[in-house]
Structure 1
C-alpha cells in the first residue's frame, strides 16, 4: 500500500477527507444562497430563471457541480465509515455517556447528517432532476428596452431548447424553462416546507460542530484565530445561512 493510500485510510486521513469535503460544501452554501436570493425579486422569476440557466450551462460551473456531487457522496460515505469504525473500536457503549466538553450536535452528527442526506435527495429530485429531465414549464419574457417594462406569459417550449434570448424591434425576448414556477408550486405544499425547515435546523446544528472541527483537524485552531473561526462558524454558517434557506420556502408558503 502506498504512503498516499495509508494516509487516507488512517483515522486522521478519514477525518481530513471529511473536513476538506465539508469545507468545500460550506463554500457552496454561500454561492447557492446568494443565487437563490433571486427568488425574492418581484419579476415573475426572470432573474432566478436566468440564474438557473447560467448555473446549468456555464462550463466552469458545471465542472464545480460535479465536484459538488462527488463531495456530497464522499462526505456521506466517509461519515458512515468513521461511524462504523468508532462502533467497532468500542462495541460496548459507555455506561454513562460523556457530556462534559461536548455539545449535543457533536454527539448526534449521524442523525443530523441523515436528515440532511434525505433532504438533499428530495431537493435534487424536485428541482435538479425536474429541470433537466422533468416537465418544467416554459415562460416567455418580453422587455421593452425603451421603457424597461417586462411582461411574461407561459409558452409550450423555448423553440425546442431550454433557453433563447434575442432582440426584436427594440424588445428583448427571453424564453426559458420556468424553474421559478416549479419552486413556487413545491413550496406551497406544507410537508415539503416542513422538511426544508427541519433540514435547515439540522444543518445549523451540523455546522456548529462540523465547521469548527474541520479547522481543528487541519491544525488551524490557534488561539489567535479561534475566536474568528467560532464567530464565522456559529453566526454565518449556523445562523444566517440556515435562516436564509429556510426563509425561501416559508416565503412562498405564506405569500
Structure 2
C-alpha cells in the first residue's frame, strides 16, 4: 500500500507537469501538448512505466479494500460508541470513500481521454499529431465536467493529506524528530497537487 501510494504520488507530479502545458497560449499549447502526448504514446520506456502504473493502481485499490475489510472485522462490537473522531481527522476515517471517488473518476477520465486518444478518431494538428488538446478543451467547455473533475481532485487532495504521511509510517520511517516536517511536506504536497490540477479546467472553461 505505502509503496504503490508513493509511486502514484510521483506519477501525479509528472502528469501535472505535463498538463500545465495546457495553460500556455492556445496556439502554442495545442502543438506542444499534442507533441508531448505523441511522445508518451510512442516511447517504449513510457509504455513500460505505464504498465507499472496500471498495476500500481490495481494493487493499491485491492490492498485498500482488503485493509478496510480487515479493519472492520477487527473493530469489535458495533454497539460500542465510535469515538475515533476525537483522535483523527474526518478524511483519515474516510480514506476508502475518498479512494472510491478517485477510482471512479479515474475510470471515467481514462475512458474520455486515454481510450479516445488511443482507439478513437481524432483530427490532426498542424504538425500531424492527434489533437488531444482539442479534445481536452472541448471536454472542459462543459461546466458539469469541470465541477465533476474538481470534486474528484478535492477528494484526491484529502486522500493525499492522510495518505502521504501514513505511507511513511507504514514503511517504518516514523521518528518524532521529523514527524512534523513530514506532515508539513504532506500538507504542502496535497495543496500543490490539488491547486495545480483544479486550476486547469477552470482556466480552460473561463478563457477558451
Q: What's the TM-score once normalised by structure 1's chain length?
A: 0.77
Aligned to 1:65, the other structure's residue is in SS state: helix
**Higher-helix-fraction structure:** 2
- Alpha-carbon distance between aligned partners in 1 of 2:71 and 2:181, rounded to the nearest angstrom: 31
CA RMSD of aligned residues (A): 1.3
Structure 2 unmatched ranges of 5 or more: none
Matched, 1:72 2:57: yes
Larger relative CO (CA 8 A, sep 6+): 1 or 2?
A: 2
8 Å contact from structure 1 (residues 136, 179) kept in 2: yes
8 Å contact from structure 1 (residues 41, 47) kept in 2: no
Q: What's the TM-score once normalised by structure 2's chain length?
A: 0.94
Aligned to 2:99: 113
- Alpha-carbon distance between aligned partners in 2 of 1:118 and 1:253, rounded to the nearest angstrom: 23
Structure 1 unmatched ranges of 5 or more: 1-17, 141-173
Query: Computing the radius of gyration over CA atoms, which structure comes out larger, 1 or 2?
Result: 1
8 Å contact from structure 2 (residues 165, 183) kept in 1: yes
Higher mean alpha-carbon deviation, 214-223 vs 112-121, is at: 214-223
- Alignment length, in residue pairs? 204
- Alpha-carbon distance between aligned partners in 2 of 1:21 and 1:233, rounded to the nearest angstrom: 16
Aligned to 1:165: none
Kindly state the Cα deviation for residue 96 of structure 1 after the two structures are TM-superposed.
2.9
Alignment equivalent of 1:84, drawn from 69, 91, 94: 69
Counterpart mapping for 1:128-139 below 5 A: 128-139=114-125
